[in-house]
């Protein structure tokens, strides 16, 4: 008979006793294996319990903290602002009288000397007026000469008439009745008339002299106006603008409100003003003679100047105060309008407590540091700041020399925490620049 693949097949031992023995031996071996496994599990559990009870875990090491010591040193605060060069003096030269430009000999960029004639105007009618004034002076001088002659003639007539009257008067006194009263009265009248003629002649002379003064004043005024035909440089400088050419009609500039065309613009560039806007908060530290480090990127110039003047008033729009440094520029290597980077030294203190700026935590209006005490515990201390620079600050209260202050990562430490302090590396200003 053929068995199906899905039909179970059983092998039957022909000896029943032997088969039972085999079954009992198999069950005994399984029991032994179960017991051995349980014993192993018990022993392992016991081992872990004993180890956890008698073996201690290694102690946790204190966290490292980079600290910096409070030291004493010199600290100076500075202000960096952009400045601009301006001419020391600059002026548009206008004509005082109206006329045509006869010639102009300068152009932009030309250097001129003080008192040098830059252009000449042509004003023919003004010259005629000068000649008329000179004629008036000569006429007044002639009138004075004539008046002086009239005074001399009147005085001579008066002397003769007065002498005759004096003789008649003396003779009448010596011999009464010798001289008729009518004759004596006529002589007295002639004497008084001659004296009056002298006064009239002198008054006429004074009038002529005053008229001469008027004529001379008019002549002087017109000659002065004639001198305005010349456009003269008021100071040594450089011509920066030229507004007119030969033949241009130039109107007289009477006042600043009159929109007239200038002839040229002259700027004094051998001495420049470096103008800098100082913010309101730094104004109290600005003083005449203060040092200013100047760097001109366009030319590569670097030099130190002194504050010469400041406006002592704030611009209401920018809230800044204008401050100036005078910069010699004899070779004209610097041009007005150039920009310069300036560093103004505001305040300096010697022997003050100093910390790196990164060691101080700003919390609103309060400033504090984390100090590692003698037992390596972290504690918080409020501090008061003084001078502040880009990388260092002055401590005016709250710390002492030698205190160790955590230099960075202050928010990661807990108050009272034990730390392992080590010196922090704080690069100096020179190292920061080199990097």
Residue 220 covered by a domain: yes
Last residue of some domain: 325, 348, 371? 348
pLDDT digits (tens, 9 = 90+) for 108-165: 999 999 999 999 998 888 778 888 888 888 888 888 888 888 889 888 888 888 888 8
Residue 165 covered by a domain: yes
Q: How far is CA 411 from CA 66, 180, 286, 354, 395, in A?
A: 13, 138, 38, 22, 21
pLDDT of residue 45: 76
Q: How far apart are CA 114 and CA 232, in angstroms?
A: 8
341 and 361 together in one domain? no
pLDDT of residue 26: 66
Tell me phi and psi for residue 199, to 5 degrees: -65, -40
Which residue range is the domain that position 401 belongs to?
67-73+350-434
pLDDT of residue 5: 43
365 and 404 together in one domain? yes
Residue 221 covered by a domain: yes
223 and 144 together in one domain? yes
pLDDT of residue 24: 63
Last residue of some domain: 209, 228, 247? 228
Residue 62 covered by a domain: no
343 and 359 together in one domain? no
130 and 211 together in one domain? yes
pLDDT digits (tens, 9 = 90+) for 9-24: 444 444 555 555 555 6
360 and 341 together in one domain? no
412 and 340 together in one domain? no
Residue 416 covered by a domain: yes
pLDDT of residue 10: 40
Q: How far is CA 95 from CA 99, 107, 233, 251, 336, in A?
A: 8, 17, 12, 7, 26
Residue 161 covered by a domain: yes
Residue 306 covered by a domain: yes
151 and 215 together in one domain? yes
pLDDT of residue 53: 56
Residue 379 covered by a domain: yes
Structure tokens at 245: 């050419």
Low-confidence ranges of the chain (pLDDT < 50): 1-14, 55-57, 429-435
Asked if 372 and 98 count as a contact pair (C-beta separation under 8 A), the reply is no
CATH number of domain containing 376:
2.40.420.20
341 and 419 together in one domain? no
419 and 375 together in one domain? yes
Last residue of some domain: 208, 228, 248? 228
Q: What is the DSSP string of 356-388?
A: EGGGPEEETTEEEEEEE-TTSBEEEEEEEEEEE
Short-list 250, 324, 237, CA closest to 96? 250
| Number of domains within the chain | 3
CATH number of domain containing 305:
2.40.30.170
324 and 365 together in one domain? no
**Which residues lie below 8 Å from residue 419, measured CB to CB, with a gap of 6+?**
62, 63, 64, 65, 372, 376, 377, 378, 406, 413
pLDDT of residue 46: 75
128 and 224 together in one domain? yes
């Amino acid at each position: 008979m053929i068995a199906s693949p899905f039909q179970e097949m059983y092998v039957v031992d022909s000896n029943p006793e032997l088969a039972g023995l085999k079954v009992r031996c198999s069950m005994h071996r399984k029991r032994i294996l179960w017991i051995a496994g349980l014993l192993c599990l018990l022993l392992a559990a016991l081992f872990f319990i004993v180890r956890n009870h008698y073996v201690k875990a290694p102690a946790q090491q204190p966290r490292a903290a980079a600290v910096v010591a409070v030291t004493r040193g010199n600290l100076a605060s500075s202000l960096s602002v952009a400045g601009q060069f301006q001419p020391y003096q600059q002026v548009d030269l206008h004509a005082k009288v109206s006329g045509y430009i006869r010639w102009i000999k300068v152009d932009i960029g030309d250097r001129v000397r003080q008192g040098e004639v830059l252009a000449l105007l042509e004003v023919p009618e003004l010259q005629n007026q000068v000649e008329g004034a000179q004629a008036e002076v000569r006429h007044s001088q002639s009138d004075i000469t004539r008046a002086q002659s009239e005074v001399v003639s009147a005085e001579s007539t008066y002397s003769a008439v007065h002498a005759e009257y004096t003789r008649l008067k003396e003779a009448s006194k010596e011999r009464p009745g010798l001289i008729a009263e009518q004759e004596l009265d006529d002589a007295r009248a002639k004497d008084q008339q001659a004296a009056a003629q002298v006064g009239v002649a002198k008054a006429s002379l004074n009038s002529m002299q005053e008229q001469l003064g008027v004529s001379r004043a008019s002549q002087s005024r017109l000659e002065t106006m004639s001198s305005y035909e010349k456009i003269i440089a008021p100071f040594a400088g450089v011509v920066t603008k030229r507004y007119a050419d030969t033949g241009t009609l130039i109107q007289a500039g009477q006042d600043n409100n009159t929109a007239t065309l200038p002839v040229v613009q002259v700027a004094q560039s051998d001495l420049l003003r470096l103008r800098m806007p100082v913010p309101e908060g730094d104004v109290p530290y600005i003083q005449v003679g203060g040092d200013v480090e100047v760097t001109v990127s366009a030319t590569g110039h670097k030099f130190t100047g002194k504050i010469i003047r400041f406006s002592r008033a704030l611009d209401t729009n920018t809230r800044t105060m204008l401050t100036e440094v005078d910069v010699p520029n004899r070779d004209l290597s610097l041009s007005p309008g150039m920009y310069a980077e300036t560093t103004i030294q505001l305040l300096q203190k010697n022997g003050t407590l100093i910390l790196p700026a990164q060691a101080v935590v700003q919390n609103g209006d309060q400033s504090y540091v984390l100090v590692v005490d003698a037992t390596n515990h972290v504690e918080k201390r409020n501090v008061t700041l003084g001078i502040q620079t880009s990388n260092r600050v002055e401590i005016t209260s709250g710390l002492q020399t030698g205190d160790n202050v955590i230099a960075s990562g202050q928010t990661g430490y807990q108050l009272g925490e034990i730390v392992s302090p080590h010196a922090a590396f704080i690069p100096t200003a020179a190292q920061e620049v080199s990097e």
